[in-house]
Amino acid sequence: MAKDVAQGMNWLHCSNPPIIHRDLKPTNLLVDDNWTVKICDFGLSTIRRAENITDNGIAPGTPLWMSPEVLQGKPLNEKVDIYSYGIVLWEILTGIEPYAEHDSYNTFVRAVCIEEERPEIPEDMHPSLASLLQSCWTAKTDERVTFEQIIALLDEAMVDCNVPDPFAAQLWKENWLGKDEVTFNKFVTVLCKALEVQLGRDRERNLDYKCLKAILAVEKDDSFNVNIERFGLLIKWFGPLKQKRKNEDLTIFSIIKSAMQEPWFHGDLPRQNCEAILSDHLKKKGTYLVRLSTTDPIEKTPFTISKVNKKGTINHQRVYVNRDRSGYYIVIKTKDGKDKKIEARGEIEALITKVTSELGLKYNCPGRKYNELFITNKVEGYLPSPEDEDSSGDN
């Protein structure tokens, strides 16, 4: 949404002569059926024919989104829209109304223009976004970024905010910066080259390939794609892309495949669906499954163990990952009410094995969607890999 607004505003500012909107705020942004944002209400817009514009009388616009130069009646240019955009972006990121603490126009103007007060940036906001906000609403107009620069910065931030692994983030930036998604086959070709992994010519039948596709790819318009958000989730679940383990030949492919082979692993199964499946086995206490977490704080708890407990009800146990990704652990309550940490080094399979008795995990919950991946089918003939489609040579 933020990028849609920036692209629309960039078109206005790049017109000849430039068009200044002058009233950029959330109520002047419309969302269509495809969640694309459109800019509207050009009643206060101005064509800038000179270097700067000076208002005569009361400045038009809405005070909360007015830049200091507008509030003070000083000469202005299209950088007033940049300031307004900064306030709008802050609202998009926080969901909070700006300057709600001010109930007096005069004190508000003094705070913004003289004291250079701006909306408070949350501590947990990504540094790239925090920096962008400050570059939009700085008091010095010549130091404010342009919308062209904002679009580029948003493209970078889109990757940085979604993909926590620096190596993985750089991989996306070098190949698909500015794109939200890419076809799965193109993604795998680039990934294998970066990791120096060989899947073989007939990779559609390669188990590593099929497992990665089942976890990562999103079906769209009869094709399978990888989007930034899903790529980021993969890293949070199984990453980083480059594994650093002593005396082990591990890749992101082998780690994913190993987990998916386990009969208790059900992948990204939503909690509601998980409970629906387990509810069919309430009489079989100890039935359990392990699923991927898609909610915060996902970077700390990438997995959840869901089971039918001794009382015949369903409960969920968060699985935490060590900061250095050396292993996983759970925290349970003992009979005396104290917290007990149970940890296992290595992959998720090691932890599940270790906590089986402690948590009363007895029966793998049936109905997982990955079973068919591990059924070997004999296929006659040669199946070309996607990278061979454009090849005209004989092989």
What pLDDT is stored for residue 56 in this prediction? 63
Q: Mean pLDDT across the stretch 79-91?
A: 97
Of the three residues 160, 185, 213, the one that is the final residue of a domain is 160
Mind giving me the DSSP string for 199-215? --S-GGG-HHHHHHHHH
Q: Are residues 351 and 335 in the same domain?
A: yes
pLDDT tens digits for 196-218? 888 877 888 889 999 999 999 99
Of the three residues 211, 244, 259, the one that is the final residue of a domain is 259
Q: Are residues 32 and 148 in the same domain?
A: yes
What integer best gives the mean pLDDT of the chain? 90
CATH number of the domain to which 189 belongs: 1.10.238.10
Using the predicted structure, report yes or no on whether residue 316 has a pLDDT greater than 90: yes
Using the predicted structure, report yes or no on whether residue 285 has a pLDDT greater than 70: yes
Enclosing H/E stretch for 372: none
pLDDT tens digits for 176-201? 999 999 999 999 999 999 998 888 77
Residues 6+ apart with CB under 8 A from 234: 215, 216, 252
Domain-located, residue 373: no
CATH number of the domain to which 50 belongs: 1.10.510.10
What pLDDT is stored for residue 389 in this prediction? 43
Q: Is 279 exposed, middle or buried (0-12, 13-18, 19+ CB in 10 A)?
A: exposed
What pLDDT is stored for residue 393 in this prediction? 41
- List the single range of 179-183, 218-222, 373-377 with lowest mean pLDDT: 373-377
Domain-located, residue 390: no
Q: Are residues 207 and 272 in the same domain?
A: no
Of the three residues 160, 189, 218, the one that is the final residue of a domain is 160
CATH number of the domain to which 289 belongs: 3.30.505.10
Q: How confident is the model at residue 390 (pLDDT cuts 50, 70, 90)?
A: very low
Q: Which domain holds residue 303?
A: 264-367
Q: Are residues 28 and 125 in the same domain?
A: yes
Mutual angle of helices 2-13 and 79-94, in 10-degree steps = 170
In whole angstroms, what is the distance from residue 254 CA to residue 198 CA? 12
pTM attached to this predicted model: 0.83
Q: Mean pLDDT across the stretch 149-176?
A: 96
Q: Are residues 12 and 130 in the same domain?
A: yes
Mind giving me the DSSP string for 284-336? STTEEEEEE--SSSTTT--EEEEEE-TTS-EEEEEEEE-TTSSEEEEEEE-TT
Q: Are residues 215 and 88 in the same domain?
A: no
Higher pLDDT, 164 or 56: 164
Q: Are residues 123 and 22 in the same domain?
A: yes
Using the predicted structure, report yes or no on whether residue 299 has a pLDDT greater than 80: no
Q: What DSSP character marks residue 265?
A: B
Q: Are residues 288 and 322 in the same domain?
A: yes
Is the sign of the CA dihedral 102, 131, 226, 294 positive or negative? negative
The count of structural domains within the chain is 3
In whole angstroms, what is the distance from residue 82 CA to residue 92 CA? 15
Q: Are residues 58 and 154 in the same domain?
A: yes
Q: Are residues 139 and 185 in the same domain?
A: no
Domain-located, residue 133: yes
Using the predicted structure, report yes or no on whether residue 373 has a pLDDT greater than 50: yes
Q: Are residues 272 and 189 in the same domain?
A: no
pLDDT tens digits for 10-42? 999 999 999 999 999 999 999 999 999 999 999
Residue with tokens 């989007």: 227
Enclosing H/E stretch for 361: none
Active site residue 23: yes
What pLDDT is stored for residue 14 in this prediction? 96
Using the predicted structure, report yes or no on whether residue 51 has a pLDDT greater than 90: no
Using the predicted structure, report yes or no on whether residue 297 has a pLDDT greater than 60: yes
- Catalytic residue (choose from 4, 23, 41, 142): 23
Q: What DSSP character marks residue 47?
A: E
Domain-located, residue 103: yes
Using the predicted structure, report yes or no on whether residue 378 has a pLDDT greater than 90: no
Find how far residue 102's CA is from the centre of its chain.
Answer: 34
Residues 6+ apart with CB under 8 A from 212: 188, 252, 253, 256
Domain-located, residue 379: no
Domain-located, residue 386: no
Q: Which of 49, 32, 48 lies closest to 40 in space, CA to CA?
A: 32
Asked if 292 and 267 touch (Cβ cutoff 8 Å), the reply is yes
Domain-located, residue 308: yes
Q: Are residues 154 and 10 in the same domain?
A: yes
Domain-located, residue 26: yes
